[in-house]
Chain A
Amino acid sequence: MTTARTKKIASFLALLLAAGGGAACAASGKSPPATTRGVHPDVGASADTCSACHADATPEVARAWRNGRHGLELVECFVCHGSTGADFRLQPELGSCAGCHPSEVRSVTRAAGGIQDCFSCHPAHALRPVKNSSPHGKTEGGRP
């Protein structure tokens, strides 16, 4: 790498780090906090459903889910998040979405350098599609 290039990249870095300063203090110079893997208490939930407890434990999440299409059609928490205890997944896997939405998932993952997950455009729990430009194109049928 030439010296000139290195300088350019360094200045780019410096610029980017300062860029958000005007909008909100959250942006300037702060590095993103490390997020935890996500562990769920090993509750004995067999006499209940996730949503019953989470209505109290995480009310906004529960409400966002319940008021969205997945809540109405009872695509319950564990479909995306697995079960409790060691079986819990904080971040859903694309396979969960592909089970019902295979061509939408294919349309963004197979494209070269495509979007690697759904939640960039689909807000967690509400999952309502963002209206603007859809990357999904014409969804096709056919074998997986």
Chain B
Amino acid sequence: MSVVAGLLIETVVGAAPRVAARLLRVAGLEIQGGDGDHRLAAVWSAAGGSSLEEAAQQILADDPEVLGIYPTFVADDAEEGV
């Protein structure tokens, strides 16, 4: 696992709690908080950028209540060559 990203997830108004409950099952995704209405904050750890991409696309495709996933921070945690 080498990519860490901070994400803001926008949902349909009022859907954030339901979406969060569904997102609990997503491996590597940790919900950090929300406004209780249409936004969630999360941290995502994945093996690499492409698996993040694929997973994000999957969520957007599968969950009609998710409107957007915005990164607020992205970093590669393996850069020290560990």
Q: Is A44 an interface residue (CB 8 A)?
A: no
B18 engages A15 (CB within 8 Å): no
Stretch binding the partner chain, chosen from A49-57, A70-78, A111-119? A111-119
Task: Please judge, given known A-B contacts A15-B56, A16-B70, whether A8 and B18 are in contact too, CB under 8 Å.
Answer: no
A130's partner among B21, B37, B70 (CB-CB below 8 A) is: B21
Q: How many A-B residue pairs have CB under 8 A?
A: 121
Summarize B's interface: helix, strand, loop or mixed. mixed
Stretch binding the partner chain, chosen from A20-28, A81-89, A99-107? A20-28
Q: Is A39 an interface residue (CB 8 A)?
A: no
Chain A hits for B22, CB < 8 A: 132
B33's partner among A9, A32, A119 (CB-CB below 8 A) is: A119
Chain B hits for A133, CB < 8 A: 21, 24-25
A19 engages B36 (CB within 8 Å): no
CA–CA, A135 and B24, complex, Å: 8
A20 engages B21 (CB within 8 Å): no
B53's partner among A11, A28, A124 (CB-CB below 8 A) is: A11
Question: Least Cβ distance of A116 to chain B in Å?
Answer: 5
Interface residues of B, Cβ cutoff 8 Å to A: 3, 8, 10, 12, 14, 16-18, 20-22, 24-25, 30-37, 39-40, 43, 48-50, 52-53, 56-57, 60, 64, 66-71, 74, 76, 79
Closest 6 CB pairs of A and B: A124-B36, A20-B68, A27-B68, A119-B36, A8-B49, A120-B34
Interface residues of A, Cβ cutoff 8 Å to B: 1, 5, 8-9, 11-13, 15-17, 19-20, 23-24, 26-28, 30-32, 91, 113-117, 119-125, 130-133, 135
Please list 14 pairs of residues, one from A and one from B, whose beta carbons are closer than 8 Å in the complex, sorted by A's number: A8-B49, A16-B56, A19-B56, A23-B66, A23-B68, A24-B67, A26-B67, A30-B68, A113-B30, A115-B33, A119-B17, A119-B33, A121-B17, A130-B17
